[in-house]
Structure 1
């Protein structure tokens, strides 16, 4: 009996141990499956994240890098250009002939300052040209003499900031006496503020950028002045003898462009057109300046300038010196060229002057 009881007890103990082992094995198996599943999910996530990072790196390295435009904020912008050219020649016992001595010097100065804030803009530009020639046969003569101030205020009328309702003021004249020559004899034809042209104009200004603008006005008042007493007595430039000024109403347009057209080559140009409503409006007056600058090194450059003027009231040409004609001036030189540093400022001080 006792042996039977012990046998039953051992059998029950074996079954209990077997069931416990199966239970823990099944439980461990379920835990392992969950861990494996969680590990697989984490692995897939990490692989996806790694692939995403890899694709981003590839796209960034393959992307073409572009130089961003200057987006700096400014209210005042100023700059300019200074150019000095000198050429000299001499001959001694030269069988081909020519002047024994010649000297030519020319200077050009440009300064601009722009203002913009909100819908308002104000552009200003000053140009000064001077030229001198000395030869043994012809003596001393000037070959360039001009100062020109252009000021233009605009109020932006569109959302993209390219179209402005504008007012324009322009003053153009010279510093010294000018002579027209017949052989070696010179006759006074111009002088300081004789003539001088002053324009007041209202119109629309299209500004594609700081480098290019087109201004058109259907209503423009142009004044012509002669202050030299000798020229007043003679009359000319559309002004009757004895008078010092005349006013004309007409249409006016001006195009301005300044840009680096190639490496080390810059171009600055301006074209003005004026039609007088009251006298032969089909005869359009033209004023055009072109300046090409070719940089040689830090201090020296070659320059080429081409100016053209046609004014129907300037009747100094032809056989009888009573006809208008296209006036052309072309100068080539090598010399010192110094761009003035472009400065940009927010509202504050400019060149030591406090601006409100």
Structure 2
């Protein structure tokens, strides 16, 4: 399964990297004219609604919303770049006679600092930091008594250094880090004791009492390869491919964690936009469970591919 998923990811990268004649081509070159700070902000809100009155085919009244906010503050000169951004996404769905349910939840920070030895080089010595978590509890609906995730449970931190190609072309970036720290945080006793998200679980005695609490931080050191590729398919349609491959040196080296996002942005006008995206993940440390022969108990079923798809139409503001 891991090989199959990796082949799909690489195939998607190759398709996007190709440049057939029908693609809309718009070059984006960086001509540095001294130190420059730039700031961009983007807010968007997508709302979907379905209402039924005496509809003989049946249906359930529902409304859902997705809020997305991103701010970027970047610095560049002839030798240095420093790119920073913060990203917040939160979605909720409400249906008649059912509790509100979370559909999306992300809080992410990125900071990348790079230096190139001369003005004509396309290679940067780069240090990267990425942190992400969620804001509210997650549940395996309809069970809302036992959260399966919380704020900082999990939280992820990547920090490392390496080489990056493509900073003179904002549409293409290829980054390789031979030394990247990955830390997984599970700051909740119940989730940590259960060994959620790959941390070491608690040790119990025969009566079920905790002898050794579960660890709340899992540390890894490994190699990281990322690729970002942005291309305008036609004038008002843009596609963005983001691929991340990570392998831990200490624990099962060669087992690759995959994080792959593919997003399409459709611009109707200056304020109305639509977006369609998919997000695929595979992390061998995140195990799934299945019911066992004993009622109320579960057996580990190993890691599985995680996949999410979303489609939204709404308003967006850039400033």
* Partner residue in 2 for 1:194: 153
Contact 2:137–2:150 (CA under 8 A) maintained in structure 1: yes
CA distance in 2, matches of 1:69, 1:280: 41
CA drift at 1:264: 1.6
* Partner residue in 2 for 1:240: 200
Any stretches of 5+ residues in structure 1 without a counterpart? 1-66, 341-356
Q: Helix, strand or coil for the counterpart of 1:179?
A: coil
* Partner residue in 1 for 2:37: 76
Contact 2:28–2:169 (CA under 8 A) maintained in structure 1: no
CA distance in 2, matches of 1:309, 1:333: 21
* Partner residue in 1 for 2:317: 338
* TM-score, with structure 2 as normaliser: 0.78
* Partner residue in 1 for 2:46: 85
* Partner residue in 1 for 2:162: 203
* TM-score, with structure 1 as normaliser: 0.70
* Partner residue in 1 for 2:102: 142
Q: Flag the 1:321–1:83 CA change in 2: closer, same or farther, 3 A.
A: farther
Q: Helix, strand or coil for the counterpart of 2:75?
A: strand
* Partner residue in 2 for 1:185: 143
Instruction: Note the aligned Cα RMSD (angstroms).
Output: 2.4
CA drift at 1:324: 1.6
Alignment match of 2:120 (pick from 150, 160, 179): 160
Structure with more of its chain in helix, by fraction = 1
* Partner residue in 1 for 2:266: 294
- Return the index of the structure with the highest Cα Rg: 1
Superposed CA offset, 1:135-163 (max 9, x none): 12542110100111121111103552310
Paired residues, what number?
A: 272
Structure 1 position 314 matched with structure 2 position 286: yes
Contact 1:239–1:246 (CA under 8 A) maintained in structure 2: yes
Alignment match of 2:253 (pick from 270, 277, 281): 281
CA drift at 1:126: 2.2
CA distance in 1, matches of 2:154, 2:290: 20
CA distance in 2, matches of 1:271, 1:234: 30
Structure 1 position 271 matched with structure 2 position 243: yes
Q: Which of 250-259 and 163-172 deviates more?
A: 250-259
